Structure 1
Amino acid sequence: MRRPAGAVNNDRMELLARDVDVPSPALYRDVEPLIRALRPALSGPGFAAFAAEAAGQGLVFTAAYDNAPSGKGRCVAVATHRTLATSRGRILFVDDLVTGPALRSGGVGAWLMGELEQRAARAGCVRVELDSGVVNQGAHRFYHARRMSVVAFHFSLDLPDHR
């Protein structure tokens, strides 16, 4: 089911998506803990450097906040994404999507994906794309449930450190 952008009430939470500025107090207070939970090798200084460089490349940090009185405005999920012009058409590429561990499987991630789909449509994108680690089967089930297909392999090559 597609949900309208902006606020939504799912009986327990009233979710609202907000783009978070880089740098800002909200970036470090709300976004950083969730991104670092997803990427545990990323240090605090590493996150700051990543956020500054990636924002300069067009990465958007979108946080889902629970604005219900019981939620007290807490950040419950984060997506990082960018719009890209590719030879396959204009796409919204999701770099990261993470829901707070205590709230997983509660509909927050699905709501945030719906928000990203709507943003992609408004930006004239032909699809939403993302990569997911090959061992992250929980995420794969989530993406398949959202009607996403595995359409490519993503290959990588680690380069030697030449510093």
Structure 2
Amino acid sequence: MALTTVDVGPGERALATDVAPLIRALRPGLDAAAFDAFVHEASRQGLVFTAAYDDAGRCLAVAGHRVLATSRGRLLFVEDLVTAPEARSTGVGGHLLAVLRERATAAGCVRIELDSGVANHGAHRFYHAQRMAVSAFHFALELPA
């Protein structure tokens, strides 16, 4: 399957028609208004959405990512990576991660990092198959609204 990857930014029609449905499937608590607010703020912080399309023009996967300068070196942080259910285990996610790897290298990053929920075992198998290692625990403290 031939894939094309493109960056989709704020104000582009594809953000609403292609990117939002996949991100919101991954994050079901994110309604349309919250997604729009997230995109507005996060894009100012460097968030980029990269989408993978098949030859028929269907969006099969999306990654939201940004380059961060950290005390551990420059890294490409993947905020979200989601593949459409019908396209899982077809190489689309691996293709998108390979594109991100090329971008990270070109941006002078020392690594790619992402978080994955502890119960998302399918994603864990995918990330391990992509030669990613579990290198840290990510702790969180919920704050009152």
Instruction: Tell me, yes or no, if the aligned pair for 1:22 and 1:52 is still in contact at 8 Å.
Output: yes
Rounded to whole Å, the distance in 2 between the matches of 1:107 and 1:82 is 23
- Residue 126 of structure 1 corresponds to which residue in structure 2? 110
Flag as ranges the 4+ runs of structure 1 deviating above 4 A.
Answer: none
Deviation for aligned residue 1:102: 0.7
- Residue 52 of structure 2 corresponds to which residue in structure 1? 64
Deviation for aligned residue 1:23: 2.0
Deviation by residue 1:64-98 (Cα, 9 ceiling, x = unmatched): 111x2xxx211110000000011111000000000
Q: Matched residue of 2:52: which SS? A: strand
Question: 1:40 is aligned with what amino acid?
Answer: P
Rounded to whole Å, the distance in 2 between the matches of 1:81 and 1:16 is 17
Question: Root-mean-square deviation (CA), in Å?
Answer: 0.7
- Residue 13 of structure 2 corresponds to which residue in structure 1? 25
Instruction: Tell me, yes or no, if the aligned pair for 1:23 and 1:52 is still in contact at 8 Å.
Output: no
User: Structure 1: where are the runs of 5+ without partners?
Assistant: 1-12
What aligned pairs does 1:90-105 form with structure 2 within 5 A after superposition?
90-105=74-89
- Residue 22 of structure 2 corresponds to which residue in structure 1? 34
Aligned length: 145
Rounded to whole Å, the distance in 2 between the matches of 1:23 and 1:104 is 28
Rounded to whole Å, the distance in 1 between the matches of 2:9 and 2:127 is 27
Q: Matched residue of 2:131: which SS? A: coil
User: Structure 2: where are the runs of 5+ without partners?
Assistant: none
Are 2:100 and 1:116 equivalent residues in the alignment? yes
Q: TM-score, normalised by structure 1?
A: 0.87
Are 2:127 and 1:136 equivalent residues in the alignment? no
Higher helix share: 2
Rounded to whole Å, the distance in 2 between the matches of 1:38 and 1:21 is 19
- Residue 39 of structure 2 corresponds to which residue in structure 1? 51
Q: TM-score, normalised by structure 2?
A: 0.98
Deviation for aligned residue 1:14: 1.5
Instruction: Tell me, yes or no, if the aligned pair for 1:62 and 1:80 is still in contact at 8 Å.
Output: yes
- Residue 6 of structure 1 corresponds to which residue in structure 2? none
Question: 1:129 is aligned with what amino acid?
Answer: E
